[in-house]
Amino acid sequence: MVPFMALSQDVVGGVIGGADRTLDPDTIRRFVHARLAETDLDGRSVCVVVPDATRSCPLPLLLSAVHEALDGRATNVTVLIALGTHAPMTDEQLAAHLGGSYTVRNHEWWDPARLVPLGRIGADRVAALSEGRLREPVDVVVNRAVVEHDVCLVVGPVFPHEVVGFSGGNKYFFPGVAGHEIIDFSHWLGALITSAEIIGTRGITPVRALIDEAAAMIPGRRLALCLVVESGSGALHAASFGPPETAWAAAAEVSAQAHVKYLDAPVRRVLSVLPTKYDDMWTGAKGFYKVEPIVADGGQVVVYAPHITQISAMHPEIERIGYHCRDYFVKQWDRFTHEHWGVLAHSTHLRGAGTWDPEHGERNRVTVTLATGIPEDVVRAANLDYLDPATLDVDAFAADPDTLVVPQAGEVLFRLR
């Protein structure tokens, strides 16, 4: 077992760091050692729930510190990748992502044998949690590894998020390692609120309330090491430890300072340059979510990602349904209620605000243009605009006073003051 190491004066009430600094690796390691040393984990089995590669996070450092702190104490440690409904990571990807040799499981959300029911949230309770937006029961189903271990430790970042307000905490259980139904349910609830309305909202949003209610059904102990990552570098601004609810709340306050940029006036056009960690538009759509609030009515968002060649690796039905505003689905609900609600939610999130009625059809607030490796016919059939990425001149966009170029898009939220 690694001996206890004294912490620096940066630690205040279980939180280390702040939005105005980054933490060095030794300080982070000492923080993890100290927090786990004071936690009763002896003789316990531990499931460490971590993000996939679509989230910036220095996991090799953090998992190394966690395993050092648990060595000789925990009976066994399993790392569970919180995929939600993303594609599984390969062995090669996992080795690079985690940085060590661990017992690892992808969250196999498509395999009922890997899932276990925890109970049901009733219709009346759903109505209360959703502030009346939904009134029907939802079954709470989670990865079997969560209930097969005595303790679940979430290790993951907190960012502004289009479905829940700020990501992290119990969101790593629901939807991170959940069954398909509650994943769809929670995402559609967020879509009913709309991405532009909920993204970057502090406190307990209706979706967060639903997630916390589901997480309370997990029989074992839940803990979280919540992280605020410097976007683009992977360094840590801050970390907090404790029950997921309190650790998340502390990290979200720092994230609200570190990951939200304010403009004084809307812009006509945004060029979102996506990093390669987003390998399809299902994940790369974050490049739109984070900038929609600052685009003027009638403006445009160009998502630039020549490396992306498909809309979704795991949800091909989005090509058939296409991208539409919320009201397109809500006002034609009989047509779409049988579809996966999570797919409908993703559709609304990338299309943004708009209206639909039988007489005028769909009218969207902004134009969404993909400059990617996805073929033009596929893009246009999905109800988005197309731009050949080979013709796009980033420098020319940057020289346009009516255009904002956002490098490494997808994590920092832009808002108007």
CA distance 350 to 329: 14
φ/ψ bin of 381: left (φ > 0), alpha (ψ from -120 to 50), beta (otherwise): alpha
The tally of domains found in the chain comes to 2
The answer to whether residues 129 and 35 belong to one domain is yes
Using pLDDT thresholds of 50, 70 and 90, give the confidence band for residue 344.
very high
Using pLDDT thresholds of 50, 70 and 90, give the confidence band for residue 4.
very low
The answer to whether residues 336 and 398 belong to one domain is yes
> Which CATH number do you get for residue 198?
3.40.50.11440
pLDDT reading at 225 higher than 80: yes
Q: Is residue 48 part of a domain?
A: yes
pLDDT reading at 9 higher than 90: no
- Contact between 350 and 325 under an 8 Å Cβ cutoff? The reply is no
CA distance 201 to 59: 26
The answer to whether residues 193 and 325 belong to one domain is no
Q: Look at residue 319 in the predicted model and tell me its pLDDT.
A: 96
226-260: per-residue pLDDT in tens?
999 998 888 999 999 999 999 999 999 999 999 99
Q: Look at residue 5 in the predicted model and tell me its pLDDT.
A: 33
CA distance 154 to 142: 14
355-382: per-residue pLDDT in tens?
999 999 999 999 999 999 999 999 999 9
Which residues have C-beta within 8 Å of that of residue 13, sequence separation ≥ 6? Answer: 250
> Which CATH number do you get for residue 354?
3.90.226.30
CA distance 249 to 168: 9
252-292: per-residue pLDDT in tens?
999 999 999 999 999 999 999 999 999 999 999 999 999 99
Mean of pLDDT over the chain: 94
The answer to whether residues 179 and 269 belong to one domain is no
Domain of residue 384: give its range. Answer: 261-416
pLDDT reading at 130 higher than 80: yes
The answer to whether residues 191 and 294 belong to one domain is no
pLDDT reading at 99 higher than 90: no
Task: Quote the tokens at residue 117.
Answer: 């029911």
Q: Is residue 2 part of a domain?
A: no
Q: Is residue 1 part of a domain?
A: no
- Contact between 48 and 57 under an 8 Å Cβ cutoff? The reply is no
The answer to whether residues 247 and 282 belong to one domain is no
The answer to whether residues 245 and 146 belong to one domain is yes
- Contact between 311 and 285 under an 8 Å Cβ cutoff? The reply is no
Q: What is the 3-state secondary structure (H, E, C) of 296-318?
A: EEEEEEEEEECCCCCCCCCCCHH
Element (H, E) at 177: none
Task: Quote the tokens at residue 192.
Answer: 């009913």
The answer to whether residues 253 and 279 belong to one domain is no
Q: Is residue 229 part of a domain?
A: yes
Rounded to 10 deg, the angle between the 59-70 and 25-37 helix axes is 40
The answer to whether residues 267 and 252 belong to one domain is no
pLDDT reading at 33 higher than 80: yes
